[in-house]
Every structure is written in C-alpha cells, then in structure tokens.
Amino acid sequence: MAERVAVLLCGYGEVDEYDEFAEYNERSFKLLVSKSIKFPDFSIPWLSRRLERSQKKEWHAANHYHSPHNAIFERQREGIERALQERYGNDVAVFKAFNFVPPFLPEQVLKEIRAQGFEKIVVYPWLVVDSVFTAGLALEQINEALAPDPSWVRGMRYLPSFWERDEFQKRLVDQIEEGIAPLLERYAPSQVGVMLCLHGCPLESKGYETGVRESEALYYAMQERLITKYPLMTPGWMNHPVPGKWTTPDVDQAAENLITLGAKAIVFVPIGFVTENHETQLDIGYTIDKVKDKVETVHLPTLNEDPQLMRLGAEWITPLIDELRVG
C-alpha cells in the first residue's frame, strides 16, 4: 500500500494587520537580514520598532495598503493540492508555511503534519530561485523545529527552485507578450522597453548562496526567448534599502536606462516572483510614479493562481511524491 505524503509549501508571508509589523520585523532581522549584516542582538527590538513606524507610514500613505500575498498564497496552496489530489486522492495533502507569520510558522505546521499522521514530507519552497534567503531560510527553520525529535520523519524530498523549467519560462513569455501587444498599436517594438524585475540580492553574504546566480540565469533565459522580437530589454533588481553592495541596475536606474535608449513605453514584469506582494505592487509602483510623465507604463502582475501554473506546480513535485510513496 502506497504511503501518505505531506507537501510543505513554503513562503515568506506578509503582515495582515499593521500592528503585526514589529513582530514580523524582529523575525526578519534575526533570520533574514542577519545573513548579510550582523546586528547586535540587543539592537534588534529597537530596529524592528523603528522599521515598523516607517512601514506603517508607507502603507498608510498608499491608500491604506494591505498586502494580498497571504490570500493569494492560500489560493495557490489550494490549487496545487487540488491538482495533486486528482492523482493521489487524500493520500497527499498540501500545507502552507510562512517564514515570519504565525500561526503558520514551520514549527507550528510541522506539528500539525505530524498530528495528522504524515511521516513523509516534500519540502517545497514556492519561490522562483534558490538562495539562503528563500529555500535556505525554510530549511533552517525546519531543521530547528525537528531538532528535538527528527525520528518521526521517515522520508523527505526537496525542490529548491523552478526558474529553469521550460514550461514556466514559456508561461512567462506568453504573459509578457500579452502585456506588450496593446502597445504595438502605438509604438514600434524597439520603442517598447521590457524590464524583467528580479528580487534584489546583496553581493556580500558570508559565502551563502544569495540568489544572484539563478536570478541572472533566469533573466538571460528569458532574454533569449524575447529579445529578437523586443530588443530593448533590461533586468531591474528590486533591492532593499539595506546597507551594503546590491545588484545593479535597480529598477529606478533600469527605467532611466531604457528611456535613454529611446523607450516610449516600459513594461514592468516581476519575473522573480509568483505571488503578488508589497514589493511587486508598491516598490515597482514607486518607480512607475517617477517615470510615468516620460513614458507610457504597463505593470504586469505575477502569475499568482494562474491555472497553468497551478498544474505545473503540482507536476514538478510529482516525481518526488512518487519516490516517497514507494520508498
């Protein structure tokens, strides 16, 4: 008899209420930012509250912004689970875990997985590229949660990223071309700048994998698929306002570069993300506000719960599930 398998779909999570910022920030400083910048432990609560004030002001100014991330992520979980259960029935279930948002912290979700009788797990960071800030962070939290008693996990598999999947890149191409098409009624293809927006990466990070390698590879793979039709292309790195050297060009500089080269319109495409969040919405929006008087702009969404992506997301881990069910 084949065994049951739990899929642990991992993401960052974002705050649902403004009063959650400080706690969220404290977890982020301890687990995420500390990989590239060392803060004294005593300073973290103060830094968290200071950042909280800035975030509340920013989101309040953006029409009382609330992130759609968590709701979209839940629909993605449901979509992937639905596709998997068409094949496996109730022998496979998908659980979501957020790095920074209770009650879905990995340690909390692993307890639920164990309580439901699962002993085999596929760890599935729902993030485009692999880095210490994405999949590595999830693994760190999972290992910490399992440290007191790892014996109940009888099998585990892991999918670190999916940027290189041919079907994923083709789906992105289709979305980009759909976004560009209306502009071609007014502009020549060479006048349409295409900015492929990637999650910014620190260039110095204690030797950890920062995500630069796979993000650049994704950009060049997409460039190869698109550039013969749309020659005015650039990466745009969505960097955080954190000290240190970061990837270039950032989205502001990338937009100015396209304008200098003659762009009359710019299409902003967040290819480094599959779930809408405050970065894909607000941060790209700030750049658009800076250039909208110079060029026409189009802001494409992430793929979110796109039905094709949900089907692909299930297919990518099917071989791992099969290994666990017969192992």
Phi, psi of 216 (to 5 degrees): -65, -40
Provide the pLDDT for residue 47: 60
Task: Supply the angle between the helices 307-326 and 69-88 in degrees, to the nearest 10.
Answer: 50
Provide the pLDDT for residue 65: 81
How far is it, in rounded angstroms, from Cα 292 to Cα 275? 25
Residue type, 7: V
How far is it, in rounded angstroms, from Cα 140 to Cα 123? 12
Residue among 302, 10, 26, 35 nearest 138 (CA): 10
Beta bridge partners of 193: 266
CATH class of the domain defined by 166-299 = alpha beta
Provide the pLDDT for residue 142: 97
- Both tokens of 60, joined, read 């309040």
Provide the pLDDT for residue 34: 58
Provide the pLDDT for residue 241: 76
Provide the pLDDT for residue 9: 98
Provide the pLDDT for residue 28: 66
Provide the pLDDT for residue 119: 98
The residues, ordered by sequence, that sit 6+ positions from 176 with a Cβ below 8 Å of its Cβ are 194, 222, 226, 267, 269, 300
How far is it, in rounded angstroms, from Cα 26 to Cα 84? 35
Provide the pLDDT for residue 203: 83
**Domain residue extents for the chain:** 18-61, 166-299
Provide the pLDDT for residue 33: 60
Burial 2-35 (b: 16+ CB within 10 A, else e): eebbbbbbbbbbbbeeeeebbebbbbbbebbbeb
Burial 275-301 (b: 16+ CB within 10 A, else e): bbbbbbbebbbebbeebeeebbbbbbb
Burial 88-102 (b: 16+ CB within 10 A, else e): beebbbbbbbbbbbe
Residue among 70, 63, 25 nearest 47 (CA): 25
Provide the pLDDT for residue 1: 61
**Residue 171: Cβ-neighbour burial (10 angstroms; 0-12, 13-18, 19+):** middle
**Residue 310: Cβ-neighbour burial (10 angstroms; 0-12, 13-18, 19+):** buried
Provide the pLDDT for residue 265: 99
pLDDT along the chain (327 residues), means of 10: 92 79 65 61 61 64 81 99 98 97 96 98 97 88 96 97 98 98 98 98 80 96 98 96 86 99 99 96 96 98 98 99 93
